[in-house]
Amino acid sequence: MNQPDSAAERSFLDDYDPRAFPPVAVAVDLVVLTIQHGQLCVLLVQRGTPPHLGRWALPGGFVGPDETLDAAARRELVEETGLDAGSHLEQLASYGDPARDQRMRVISVAYLALVADLPRPAAGTDAAEASFWPVVDRTGTGQPLAFDHDRILADALERARGKLEYTDLATTFLDEPFTIAELRRVYEAVWGVRLHPANFRRKVMSVPGLVVATGTERATGRGWAELYTRGHATRLHPPIPRPDDPGQ
């Protein structure tokens, strides 16, 4: 904790009363994306306590008084689902509309996590159930997510889709080694479009350091496919642009 720099600051802090201001809580929400059966899926929990009892929501909760934001995000994910966020966890944005939570003024810092493969989540603490849902389906009931989580999810999807163009984020979804076809299917699942296999391979191979050939192959049922691992490049140059039309 920072110490006051002067006697004047110490005097000011001695007289300072935080109760003179409206209470504000800080929370974290997590958008955990993965690919299952060729579909981009998001981790949702069914709320076991009010408000929004029984509604599906993103996992998350309040930040403890002695926690960093990152630590709170990882803790909440484990407590509500039994899962770890994996290697890719980044802050997405902050959400602070005054009426976003019925209990009090709550400012939420949202996180985006992308993982290659996860076991079945298990609900815990205030979550009645935890499950992966295809993003095109979301809740499976047609109801909106709790709080402003539909907005957070939409922002996270756009972030993930955009980052596939200029970073190595797509490889985060894959276990190594992988084929170029498996990498293409990641792009197709996240972007929601079909890509031309030959054009996609040409674009991937034109990016220095994106993938590294292992010199081995895997049987595909139709022949053999070369295997690759992640390269050293984290920023793609040239980028792999998201097509405006399917089939590109």
User: Which residues are catalytically annotated?
Assistant: 129
CB 190 within 8 A of CB 160: yes
Distance CA 93, CA 100 (A): 15
**Residue 127 in tokens:** 């979550």
Distance CA 60, CA 48 (A): 13
Burial 71-90 (b: 16+ CB within 10 A, else e): ebbbebbeebbbbebbeebe
